[in-house]
Amino acid sequence: MAERPTKKSWAEPFKIKVVEPIKMTTRDYRLKCIEEAGYNTFLLKSEDVYIDLLTDSGTSAMSDHQWAGMMLGDEAYAGSRNFYHLEDVIRKYYGYKWIVPTHQGRAAEHIISQILIKDGDYIPGNMYFTTTRLHQELAGGNFVDVIIDEAHDPTNEHPFKADIDLQKLEDLIKKVGAEKVPYISMATAVNMAGGQPISLGNLKEVREMSHKYGIPIIHDATRVAENAYLIKEREPGYQDKTIAEIIREICDLTDGCTMSAKKDCLVNIGGFLAVNDEELYKKAQNMVVVYEGLHTYGGMAGRDMEAVARGLEESVEYEHIKARIGQVQYLGEKVLGWDIPIIVPIGTHGVFLDARRFLPHIDQDEFPAQTLAAQIFVESGVRSMERGNVSAGRDPRTGKNRRPALELVRLTVPRRVYTQAHMDVTAEAILEVFDNRDKVKGLKFTYEPEYLRFFQARFEPIT
Ligand SMILES: *Cc1c(COP(=O)(O)O)cnc(C)c1O
């Protein structure tokens, strides 16, 4: 007789209404695919992928409630009722006063950067994000990383690795002068650190400094619900608060946000900029008509805005966010159990393999994370993403690869798309690559684009 379970099983808090078949392929076929894709998982065709953990951006499964909302799209050019619904929902849950819709997150980053940053300014932030930093740089700014040192150490178990180092922040402000710091760029559930949260305790202290020097805080709210969940789990005093209450407390400590609704808000496309300052809003509202569309749709269809509004409401539900992060933790704990090196604590939206320790024989300028992502695809059909030296790009002053401390492969879990069985298969695929890691060789560029090179770069193996 089988052993009786020692603990209760868990199951996804939804049932499946629509299914999408996925394709299993042979190793030879996948080898051909990755060669054609220049060893860049971004350049693979999705239909050749078995389990797609490239990103959780725009890959979520929408609920029946969201799909129903799509049918209620008001596709008027101006004044769509879905815009007003979205505005109400953002005001209710995030509390920001003025909303400018955009087609996705980077469009909001573009607008806020162009308005607030002057040539030669400095923008401190808790680790960079690719598009965020690029827009800050294109506006003439210099991004300065002021995250705590622990964030750069994949083995450090600090529960709030996205916290800002107040000393680093104040040193920068004193060095360059507050007038050269247009805003503090604060992200929740910091992607590049491995999906690590910022604590409310830290954010309150950052707020004090922001008031002291008269510098606003602009919040990258892309993953605010996921951050709120980990505050509830880990920060003393928040156990009895709802996710919605914690989100509101975070947002109330900041002056505005940029949002990629493609993550927490459970849609396939969408975003917005939200601010409290009316002057800033008017400038943003004027800019959005130049780059995105009228200020009541900003690059989204009416139906898209309805889906964002409904998705945002679903994102604050406890059972949803618990299951979402629980699935990621399940995958992480499984591979950690086999001593496969990953970032700890396990993050919110993905499991981040530490490619330096996974492939210690490959120099960082031979792109161990890029190599590992390609290898995982070849062995298993699982698609992941590089977050290391390729993503970090070159230093604009020296022209050298930035060689970031974190050299990672991100297995990003789309929301509500895969089951626990898919996580089991993924974990076993990683184990197989890990067992054969000595044979893996590094990569070199055959094509390197100027901006955000990780998206379109091509490579070949070093022989
Ligand atoms: C995805 C993302 C962005 C950019 O948003 P897009 O919708 O992809 O343009 C910005 N910040 C963070 C933290 C993100 O994860």
Q: Is 77 a catalytic residue?
A: yes
CA torsion, ordered 217, 221, 222, 227, to nearest 10 deg: 110
**Closest residue CA from atom 14 of ligand 1:** 222
Instruction: Considering the candidates 130, 254, 371, 426, report the single residue annotated as catalytic.
Output: 130
Domain-located, residue 59: no
Mean pLDDT of 1-10: 88
Judgement on whether residues 311 and 424 belong to the same structural domain of the protein = no
Is residue 286 predicted with pLDDT exceeding 90?
yes
Domain-located, residue 9: no
264 Cβ below 6 A of ligand 1: no
Smallest CA-to-CA distance from 113 within 135, 95, 97 is with 135
129 Cβ below 6 A of ligand 1: yes
Judgement on whether residues 79 and 106 belong to the same structural domain of the protein = yes
Ligand 1 atom index nearest CA of 190: 13
131 Cβ below 6 A of ligand 1: yes
Domain of residue 376 covers 27-49+318-461
Judgement on whether residues 311 and 360 belong to the same structural domain of the protein = no
Judgement on whether residues 157 and 273 belong to the same structural domain of the protein = yes
Judgement on whether residues 236 and 341 belong to the same structural domain of the protein = no
Q: Residue 313: what pLDDT? A: 98
> End of a domain among 263, 293, 315?
315
Mean pLDDT of 167-194: 97
Q: Residue 192: what pLDDT? A: 86
Smallest CA-to-CA distance from 48 within 280, 294, 373, 381 is with 381
104 Cβ below 6 A of ligand 1: yes
Judgement on whether residues 210 and 98 belong to the same structural domain of the protein = yes
Judgement on whether residues 102 and 44 belong to the same structural domain of the protein = no
Judgement on whether residues 304 and 322 belong to the same structural domain of the protein = no
User: pLDDT tens digits for 402-421?
Assistant: 999 999 999 999 999 999 99
**DSSP annotation of 164:** B
> At 1, is the pLDDT very low, low, confident or very high (cuts 50, 70, 90)?
confident
187 Cβ below 6 A of ligand 1: yes
Instruction: Considering the candidates 220, 255, 304, 354, report the single residue annotated as catalytic.
Output: 220
Mean pLDDT of 211-238: 98
Cα separation, 329 vs 340, in Å, equals 14
Domain-located, residue 22: no
Is residue 174 predicted with pLDDT exceeding 90?
yes
Token digits for 24?
């299993």
106 Cβ below 6 A of ligand 1: yes
Q: Is 458 a catalytic residue?
A: no
What's the CATH code of the domain at 261? 3.40.640.10
Judgement on whether residues 333 and 259 belong to the same structural domain of the protein = no
The alpha carbon of 270 and the centre of ligand 1 are apart by a number of angstroms equal to: 11
Query: Across the chain, what does the average pLDDT equal?
Result: 97
The alpha carbon of 106 and the centre of ligand 1 are apart by a number of angstroms equal to: 6
Q: Residue 283: what pLDDT? A: 98
Q: Is 263 a catalytic residue?
A: yes
Is residue 173 predicted with pLDDT exceeding 90?
yes
132 Cβ below 6 A of ligand 1: yes
Residues 400, 49: contact at Cβ < 8 Å? Answer: no
Q: Residue 30: what pLDDT? A: 98
Q: Residues with Cβ < 8 Å from 88, sequence gap 6 or more?
A: 309
User: pLDDT tens digits for 17-62?
Assistant: 999 999 999 999 999 999 999 999 999 999 999 999 999 999 999 9
The alpha carbon of 185 and the centre of ligand 1 are apart by a number of angstroms equal to: 13
Q: Residue 279: what pLDDT? A: 98
Q: Residue 242: what pLDDT? A: 98
Instruction: Considering the candidates 223, 263, 356, 453, report the single residue annotated as catalytic.
Output: 263
Q: Is 129 a catalytic residue?
A: yes
User: pLDDT tens digits for 69-87?
Assistant: 999 999 999 999 999 999 9
Domain-located, residue 16: no
Amino acid type, 12: E
Judgement on whether residues 228 and 89 belong to the same structural domain of the protein = yes
Is residue 463 predicted with pLDDT exceeding 90?
no
Q: Residue 15: what pLDDT? A: 96
User: pLDDT tens digits for 348-390?
Assistant: 999 999 999 999 999 999 999 999 999 999 999 999 999 999 9
Domain-located, residue 5: no
Instruction: Considering the candidates 160, 434, 454, 459, report the single residue annotated as catalytic.
Output: 454
Number of domains in the chain: 2
Judgement on whether residues 263 and 326 belong to the same structural domain of the protein = no
The alpha carbon of 416 and the centre of ligand 1 are apart by a number of angstroms equal to: 19
Phi-psi sector, 416: left (phi>0), alpha (psi -120 to 50), beta: left
> End of a domain among 315, 349, 372?
315
Ligand 1 atom index nearest CA of 104: 7
Measured in degrees and rounded to the nearest 5, phi and psi for residue 133 equal -65, -40
Domain-located, residue 19: no
**Closest residue CA from atom 12 of ligand 1:** 222
Cα separation, 176 vs 59, in Å, equals 41
Q: Residue 10: what pLDDT? A: 84
Judgement on whether residues 120 and 33 belong to the same structural domain of the protein = no
Give the total residue count for the chain: 463
Q: Is 403 a catalytic residue?
A: no
What's the CATH code of the domain at 433? 3.90.1150.10
384 Cβ below 6 A of ligand 1: no
> End of a domain among 294, 315, 336?
315
Please state whether beta strands 458-461 and 443-447 pair in parallel, antiparallel, or not at all (unpaired).
antiparallel
